[in-house]
Amino acid sequence: MMDRFENKNVVVAGFGKSGQACVRFFIERSIPVTVWDSREDIVVPDWADVPFFKGSLPDNFWQDVDIAVVSPGLALSHPALCAARESGVVLIGEIELFARYNSAPVIGITGSNGKTTVTLLVTHILKAGGLNAIAAGNVGTPALSTLGQAPDYVVLELSSFQLETTESLCLQAATILNISDDHLDRHKTLAAYSDAKQRIYNNTLHAVAWRDQQITYPLALTVQVTEFSAGVHSDDFGISDNWITWQNEKVVDLSRVQLTGTHNILNIQAALGLALHAGMDIQAAAEAVYDFQPVPHRCVKIADSNSVSWIDDSKATNVGATLAAITGLRHATSGKLILIAGGDSKGADLSALSDSLNQHIDLLITLGKDGPAIAALHHKALEVTSMREAVEQASTHSRAGDTVLLSPACASLDMFDNYEHRAEVFRQAVAEVCK
């Protein structure tokens, strides 16, 4: 039995969604807990009737603390957490807390891009097969909320921030969908970021990995691997004649699938692989794919005005996501492909966009903090100051058969509340400009 928390002095560090779930968890079990949040102005709800510290901490705060449950939004390099480690405090996260109490089978999904789509698709497939499956983790529902529900499977979307504080999570199957520059403002190097992702394989029975990116494979050679690929592949998943194949047999007719782009074909393959390791029959799993609805803000068509397609991929907050969208849509677009990009790149290497921009993008429109850096990569770029202006320029330069893609390759917080807000502003501008 993993170490529980009775008779321990516990601190929850960070009072966001994950931190609040942890505090509720301890309160419901009558385990004493203290909360610290770095924000001076945070409002404490009435239900959180526990010792609560805001902002800077008093001297010797960590002296008698045994365990700190750290919210994923709080970097482990924070001075207060460094002081905690120096005092001998064990730092874990909500997922590790979940792992120590969970008894249900778990499927884990991480990667730079596609996590939410695959998490929800796996959950959808398992439910279609009659299993009680719950999607949780980074997808929005705290993992702790699944305890006591006795599901057949918990399907966890896991970020690198969550994984770096997780040690003992046991998984029936796991995947790293892909790795590209992301969160380097926090992880500093791609190697450190990849190392955090690799932690998903620490205690898994089966791995599902992308054949074309070896960095997605588990480092331990003893883990069984199922491969997915955009090429013809006779052993595991592949593509042939517009069908997804499994062991060289056609299983998913891509003309019937509502997800668009090559990147989403890979996502479907990964989801099928994970579902197989949960005991699903391949034909039943494949059939369930056809009625899966695309996740909002992930390469979703929001308008078709005068035969111009407008695509919302606002969730593309890193270079890899935008590269995937460009590659996936270029082959499906008969006319020009116009890209709207820019925002806060979070320290990523934007030069990785250069080749794809110049090979596949007919017109580039940029905005935001790092818009000028992206514009400098393309021979035909327009720099604008607002989303409305970006849509106006795209409308002016588009003709029937063209596609306008919002895929920023950057975070949104330099101009918007979040990527959902960015998508809504885009949608409103398209509705007004193209009416």
> 344 and 422 in contact (C-beta within 8 Å)?
no
Half-sphere exposure of 401 (CA within 13 A, CB side): 4
Tokens 């005092």 -> residue: 87
Locate 276 and state its tokens.
């197989």
Sheet holding 337-341, edge to edge: 300-305, 308-312, 403-406, 337-341, 363-366, 381-383
Give the SS3 label for residue 155: strand
Instruction: Give catalytic status of residue 115 as yes or no.
Output: yes
Left, alpha or beta for 150 (phi > 0: left; psi -120 to 50: alpha)?
Answer: left
E-strand ranges in 286-402 read 300-305, 308-312, 337-341, 363-366, 381-383
Catalytic residue among 102, 113, 124, 138: 138
Locate 312 and state its tokens.
């919302």
Catalytic residue among 102, 113, 115, 187: 115
Catalytic residue among 113, 124, 178, 183: 183
Locate 27 and state its tokens.
């309160």
Tokens 């998913």 -> residue: 252
> 403 and 311 in contact (C-beta within 8 Å)?
yes
366 Cβ contact list (under 8 Å, min separation 6): 340, 341, 342, 372, 374, 375, 381, 382, 383, 384
Instruction: Give catalytic status of residue 267 as yes or no.
Output: no
Instruction: Give catalytic status of residue 138 as yes or no.
Output: yes
Residues designated catalytic? 115, 138, 183
